[in-house]
Chain A
Amino acid sequence: MGLFDWLKQGSDPETQAAKEASVQRQADIQQSLRGGRVPSDIATRLEQARTGKQPWIATLTPAELLIARSQGLKPIAAISATCWLHYGWSWTQGHAQGWEAALQRLRAEARACGANAVVDVKMRSIALAVEDSMDFTLVGTAVKVDGLPPSDQPIIATVPALEFVKLLAADIVPTGIAIGAHYEWMTDWRNGAKMTWMGNAESRPLSQLWETVRQRAHAELRKHAASQGNGVLAHINFSQMFEREVDKQPTQYLGRHIVVATVVDVPRTHGSQEYGRSGDTVSAQEFKMVVDIHAGKTPLTGTTRHHQAYYSNDEEGAI
């Protein structure tokens, strides 16, 4: 490789052709996404995976594959979706918008490869802070179930394959992701949040701010989840509070809270002994004590974190 090769690049016809192809590909990606379609290169790849002309691709570990195969699931393709959003109006609402857009796109890819479900869906975001924006990326494995026709509305499960199978065994279907996000500004007219000279006392204004923000976020979560199932699991809670001092004006506080959760559909049979039937199927199984032959983390829950977008303060946990 010569020292000045990089200066010459762009001049040979091959590179030139590749550049033009790239420009076209990007135009196609943008147009397709605007129209709610799968970009054509990806559609071709997924079609080939569906018909078995190309190898299938699974993000599952072999242990996960074993479990999935035992339940008649077969991987088709690794699929992904991204929405890179600039939050000019609201950072908080942007998160709900961003994930929702990515979710729709992921579902379109799943449909394009004839899947019944997408398992092992991971929420990711690249560490490239650009002008108040963030990418919302979902990566997962589209699977089909032996003997089922392709679904119109494939299930999107943000749980690892093992947990997916566990839930199915208990008659519970993980159906998607629900997001609740809310933020609120509070102007502290009476300077009530400044407690420099006080003893032990609750900061009422700030408590109240938090309560409102969290309650509204969870109300949003319920609303969003209700359209997909009847319960949520596996919360991620993310919250932040900021103080803003403005010259000769009362201090302002911003509280924001985001909850992301896996939606499940649990069968409900009211008013009979059958209620809680699914719980019984789990506890009816005999539990065995075992020494598992694995070193370190279990290979049954994948190799990478399932949610990597909010790890900055997830140790706080749920309220």
Chain B
Amino acid sequence: MSSQIPAYAQERLKGLRSSAHSTGVFTSDFSVNEFLLVRKAGFEPIGLCVGTCVYHVGIQYGSWKKNEELQVLSKAMYHARELAMARMRAEAQAMNADGIVGVKLTIKRLEWDENLLEFIAIGTGVVHGDGHKGFRAHDGGPFTSDLSGQDFWSLLHSGYRPVEMVMGSCVYHVAHRGMFAAMGSTGQNVELENFTSAMYEAREIAIERMQHEASAAKAEGVVGVDIHEGSHGWQTHVIEFFAIGTAVLPLDQEIAPEKIADPIMVLSVND
């Protein structure tokens, strides 16, 4: 399904503005400021790209006294996000976009079944105003990024271009401590080493996975990385570690620091 776009979606995509259809309408969820800066960066929005995936997450229990990754859940969280993103990217490809900016990736729990999660990826497809194709990802398809219009502009000005949104996920079961262990440490401040190492391992797995995606996309670095923990209605000791960011490559060549304008102190007249 991810490569085939339904007929009604194709109809919608056809109505969008593009080089072949200059009288079409563009759609975007840009704010005014974002729109101005995306244009300033030399890009034009063409249309919103959407990808969605309703996923039934399998069941897996961690053993009570063990730190371990719950691979069934890890894979589910990762696979579902990947499906939603791929579908969004297919839409962008169909409208011949050079990239997608401002991707928002959200997860919603469907209320009638606790194992059903809805993953939505939505962003604005953009094309380079002069038809420069050098901004596309390494596979010739559109780049993806969760950067806002402002971030997009800033990134280009710091000498980099976005390549791909990269992520790593690890759903982890943190061991419960036995009664005996708890009694033994009453009256002292002690480090709970097994908890510490659980955090270390889970976070490391998530970061390594994200970094692996970035190197597969032939990127030089990853910006705007957010490493956070979340729980999607699992047992109390089950946590998802999630790392997400935008993989970047230098523009034709890296800009030397001296070439980047020094920041100016300003007094904002915004609120």
Contacts and interface: CB of A to CB of B under 8 A. Distances in A.
Given A59-B227, A89-B189, A69 B158 contact: yes
Interface in B179-210: 182, 185-201, 203-204, 207-208, 210
Nearest to B260: A70
Interface footprint category on B? 35 or more
B219 interface: yes
Contacts of A86: 185, 188-192
B237 A289 contact: no
Contacts, number: 234
Nearest to B211: A54
Contacts of A69: 158-159, 255, 257, 260
Interface string A6-30: 1001000001001100100110011
Contacts of A201: none
B203 A293 contact: no
Contact of A66 (B147, B157, B211, B226): B157
A295 interface: yes
Interface in A186-238: none
A90 interface: yes
B269 A289 contact: yes
Interface stretch (A133-141, A240-248, A259-267): A133-141
Contact of B191 (A29, A45, A84, A292): A84
23 contacts: A18-B69, A22-B69, A29-B201, A33-B193, A54-B214, A54-B215, A57-B221, A61-B224, A62-B155, A66-B260, A69-B159, A82-B200, A84-B196, A86-B189, A89-B189, A126-B199, A126-B229, A128-B236, A135-B199, A165-B263, A289-B266, A290-B267, A293-B150
Given A78-B207, A85-B190, 19 more contacts: A25-B201, A33-B196, A33-B197, A39-B200, A57-B221, A57-B245, A58-B223, A60-B224, A62-B224, A66-B158, A69-B260, A70-B263, A88-B185, A88-B188, A126-B229, A137-B199, A292-B268, A293-B150, A295-B34
Interface of B: 31-34, 36-37, 56, 58-61, 67-69, 71-72, 147-148, 150-152, 154-155, 157-160, 174, 177, 182, 185-201, 203-204, 207-208, 210-211, 214-215, 219-229, 236-237, 239, 243, 245, 247, 255, 257, 260-270
Interface of A: 1, 5-6, 9, 15, 18-19, 22, 25-26, 29-30, 33-34, 39, 41-42, 45, 54-63, 65-67, 69-72, 75, 78, 80, 82-90, 93-94, 97, 101, 126, 128, 130-131, 133, 135, 137, 139, 146, 165, 282, 285-295, 299, 303-304
